[in-house]
Structure 1
């Protein structure tokens, strides 16, 4: 990442006939057009069966770690008429191995020459400068995401952006601007909030909005899991390089668990409630994090939504503690329970009678987001959903800030008054970083 003025980046030249083909193709996928009602997305590694005439849509991957390799595998699995043509990662040594494994798994869909394997912190720029790239998948540490997505939109690319899309209010504002630019460009931005494409979530929330549980009174949400990885520093690493390597443990890169991981629940609650909360009040702490980590390992937040509706939210990563991912919504006529992963959803009335029940299939949802993106590009019907995900990401930031500072923090403050900007102004991958610290309520200031 650099400090050059990205507004000066010109849109790459393109082949008119190719763009004409991409804009006149088939209709948008059923998943996007009907919000997945009655759609059976592909499961697991079931191969795509659709065929498409004309040149393939060309994809690049930025960020070749576990989530990045999962994202590109999902896209290549569910889409035909696509081809992976470029890859970038800070660690160039990852790229050739991933290219080989993807080529073996997806015959005919991987065509990445050695000169299209871009290493280093500026590798993503080589991708954005490549006229042969139509769609970019971003799976880098979240702290980089706002600028990377903005740069991609400025370069005229279609984008898949993993969640969260920001870790602070400064990044949120960048996302809002990128969203508007994508609308003006006619390019898509699909985000990695896969529960919005998981059928049991879609159907349960549709019924909630139709009044199946009456008026919503309150809700509880939990993302409680076990420990998280921690990487050992290699002697040759600079401070900054190590923090990027071990990014989950540094707040400017991950946003802490509530932002990086638990944003899924927060996004679901915002979806159910029809928008973000008015305020947040919370607490938490750290018991098991390794030395040098800035993360807390537990956070509990009371989110106040319009209409005096309270959501009790908890997240933690503590080895040996009970795990649960759930959203329980209480209404005047019943209760809805929507669980994470493949655990399904159910709705009951106040007498306990079952109104709705559906199994979950998170694998299909992971793939559906990539099908919707490619179908939107092919049909010239852009999906631009960055703003929604940025709002949910900032809702998670709101909770973190409330817990870290020990203050009651409002949505108005975090969106309009906060000056919090975590990304280092003096960013240098080879440079030093200040000694790591963790937040202490009452001492950590609200900014």
Structure 2
């Protein structure tokens, strides 16, 4: 589906993308380290540790509520003052849960509870808000981040930050705008703040396993949630509430969920892949779900290196979340969750290990965001996560079409734009069904 942006105060999405295509392609290579911390020439922030920073939440589901919990648990003098969501019940439920735990740090009046597709704009227009947490359905992320930066708000943006090449180009432009105006953007790639991940990458850079030749990465889980249609729902309302199962909203599991592992892959290779060659299919999805339930993608990186990646969501199956890096002298295993990292010699004997807590990492990303704002040295890492999000989308595009897909194609030539044209709550978004390789076209 090709589209224009809806009801935006600036130019249409299509015109915006056309004007930014050349500029974006020029910066569409390279991967930064743990994060990019950049200070612009002029300062727009003056925040002492004793000054209260005010937060607005856009997207009041479990992840948004969790993001507020993480920020308020680790930061002093921060306060939630506004909320926005499609669903009034989500807003009310989230406010109640948060107020029970954090008391006066939750100061959201009824008139600061905004509902509807355009409700995020009321949060961005609020002059009392310093930081916005953007945790809605992934398809909206490029717009929300862009408009937040244009409004002068510091940003926490959940992963993924884009699900297609069109959204990627928006992210590149917004990344540079944030640097220019001294606006922070921290993203929900918490592994980059997890001690055993950071330690493993440091050991890798030190040459602890010798020359890296290849790697395998797996994000294999059981089933995923599914929400039945309720009486009276329009097609769009149903899709928005069952968003994981519609590719234009979620990007499929490889983008929405597995981007964590793919971000790690780019981090450890210190590069984006040159190409992707994928396959997969579906066995267990509900009939109207567009999602596949398994994908396998070979990503080829500069220097003749490759990573074989697999993700799946099969109920009742054995799960595993791990990345194994094969070196000339030893192998490294980085486990998902809080399981830690290891280096094993070629006989399987452990020669190094490090523990890490994913719960601590979730909090640490919010601490670094606030600390960087207070220090007037804002972290800006949108491009880094956009690179990883597009890497995931490139794998999906290859698997869906059965074609080899290159980084040059997705950054410079692809016109894929999953955002529906002129989207309002009255829009009819017809599902194309699930992708079939050989029939689904590479766009």
TM-score normalized by structure 2?
0.90
Q: Secondary structure at the match of 1:95?
A: helix
Whether contact under 8 Å (1:6, 1:151) holds in the other structure is: no
1:431 CA displacement: 2.5
Equivalents in 2 of 1:117, 1:179: separation in Å?
29
Whether contact under 8 Å (2:146, 2:171) holds in the other structure is: yes
Whether contact under 8 Å (2:6, 2:422) holds in the other structure is: no
1:234 CA displacement: 1.7
Matching of residues 430-441 of structure 1 within 5 Å: 430-441=426-437
Among 346, 370, 376, the alignment partner of 1:374 is: 370
Encode CA deviations 1:70-97: one digit per residue, 9 max, x unaligned.
Answer: 1111111111110000000000222123
Encode CA deviations 1:313-335: one digit per residue, 9 max, x unaligned.
Answer: 00000101110000000011110
> Match for residue 23 of structure 1?
46
Equivalents in 1 of 2:319, 2:349: separation in Å?
27
Equivalents in 2 of 1:401, 1:273: separation in Å?
22
Cα distance change of structure 1 residues 436 and 295 upon mapping to structure 2, 3 Å threshold:
same
Among 80, 86, 92, the alignment partner of 1:90 is: 86
Equivalents in 2 of 1:353, 1:144: separation in Å?
46
Among 170, 175, 184, the alignment partner of 2:171 is: 175
1:67 CA displacement: 0.7
Whether contact under 8 Å (1:6, 1:154) holds in the other structure is: no
Q: 1:302 and 2:298 equivalent?
A: yes
1:352 CA displacement: 4.1
Structure 2 unaligned blocks of 5 or more? 13-42
Q: 1:238 and 2:234 equivalent?
A: yes
1:7 CA displacement: 6.3
Q: Secondary structure at the match of 2:105?
A: coil
> Match for residue 223 of structure 2?
227
1:199 CA displacement: 0.2
Matching of residues 95-244 of structure 1 within 5 Å: 95-244=91-240
> Match for residue 259 of structure 1?
255
Q: Secondary structure at the match of 1:106?
A: helix
Q: 1:75 and 2:71 equivalent?
A: yes
Equivalents in 2 of 1:7, 1:287: separation in Å?
42
1:261 CA displacement: 0.2
Equivalents in 2 of 1:303, 1:239: separation in Å?
36
Equivalents in 2 of 1:320, 1:353: separation in Å?
31
The structure, 1 or 2, with the larger RCO (C-alpha pairs under 8 Å, 6+ apart) is 2
> Match for residue 407 of structure 1?
403
Equivalents in 1 of 2:376, 2:394: separation in Å?
35
Q: 1:326 and 2:349 equivalent?
A: no
Among 6, 10, 18, the alignment partner of 1:6 is: 10
Encode CA deviations 1:1-33: one digit per residue, 9 max, x unaligned.
Answer: 73324369xxxxxxxxxxx995253xxxxxxxx
1:353 CA displacement: 4.4
> Match for residue 390 of structure 1?
386
Equivalents in 1 of 2:53, 2:214: separation in Å?
45
Equivalents in 2 of 1:329, 1:147: separation in Å?
36
Whether contact under 8 Å (2:6, 2:421) holds in the other structure is: no
Structure 1 unaligned blocks of 5 or more? 9-19, 26-51
Whether contact under 8 Å (1:292, 1:436) holds in the other structure is: no
Whether contact under 8 Å (1:90, 1:123) holds in the other structure is: yes
Whether contact under 8 Å (2:117, 2:424) holds in the other structure is: no
1:351 CA displacement: 4.6
Detail structure 1 runs of 4+ shifted over 4 Å in the superposition.
Answer: none
Cα distance change of structure 1 residues 121 and 21 upon mapping to structure 2, 3 Å threshold:
closer
Q: Secondary structure at the match of 2:271?
A: coil
Q: Secondary structure at the match of 2:201?
A: helix
Equivalents in 2 of 1:167, 1:24: separation in Å?
34
Among 419, 425, 428, the alignment partner of 2:421 is: 425
Encode CA deviations 1:367-399: one digit per residue, 9 max, x unaligned.
Answer: 000111111111111000000000000000010
1:215 CA displacement: 1.0
TM-score normalized by structure 1?
0.89
Whether contact under 8 Å (2:44, 2:182) holds in the other structure is: no
The more displaced of 352-361 and 177-186 is 352-361
Whether contact under 8 Å (2:221, 2:312) holds in the other structure is: yes
RMSD, aligned α-carbons: 1.6
Whether contact under 8 Å (2:47, 2:373) holds in the other structure is: no
Whether contact under 8 Å (2:420, 2:429) holds in the other structure is: no
